[in-house]
Amino acid sequence: EVQLVESGGGLVQAGGSLRLSCAASGFTFKDRPIGWARQAPGKEREGVSCISNRDGTTHYINSVKGRFTIASNNAKNTVFLHMNSLKPEDTAVYYCVAGCLPDARGMDIIYVDWASWGQGTQVTVSS
């Protein structure tokens, strides 16, 4: 059974930083790209970032590029999302998902597999 457990959310002022963690189990970690997605109040869910645990390739949507960094520790089956220069518009529930890929046409979209996702962690950025 795939299990994804997020942690690290919280309340931070604009310009601040947070690090989210996702502990994964129940599947071969290197076989699946792991992603982070978010859902803000009143908005649709969106993929934010994705990392291949085979070769370390990373992808980001434009709104977080240069501010967020995704990284994985294959030895501990853990994926991190380092979030810097946070903005109020980053406020959302952040979810770890097992399965993601960027849009093949180059559009600013990261698709995620919502069949395997964690319980989410709240990130609130105050202005």
- Residue 94: CA atoms inside 13 Å, Cβ hemisphere, count? 29
Does residue 65 contact residue 124 with C-beta atoms inside 8 Å? Answer: no
Residue-level pLDDT at 8? 97
Q: State the pLDDT at residue 92.
A: 98
- Supply 93's token pair: 């529930």
Q: For residue 114, what pLDDT is reported?
A: 86
The per-residue pLDDT for range 41-92, each reduced to its tens digit, is 999 999 999 999 889 999 999 999 999 999 999 999 999 999 999 999 999 9
Distance (Å, rounded) from C-alpha 64 to C-alpha 73? Answer: 21
Beta strands in the chain (DSSP E): 3-7, 10-13, 18-25, 34-39, 46-51, 58-60, 68-73, 78-83, 92-98, 100-102, 110-112, 121-126
Say how far apart CA 126 and CA 61 lie, in whole Å. 22
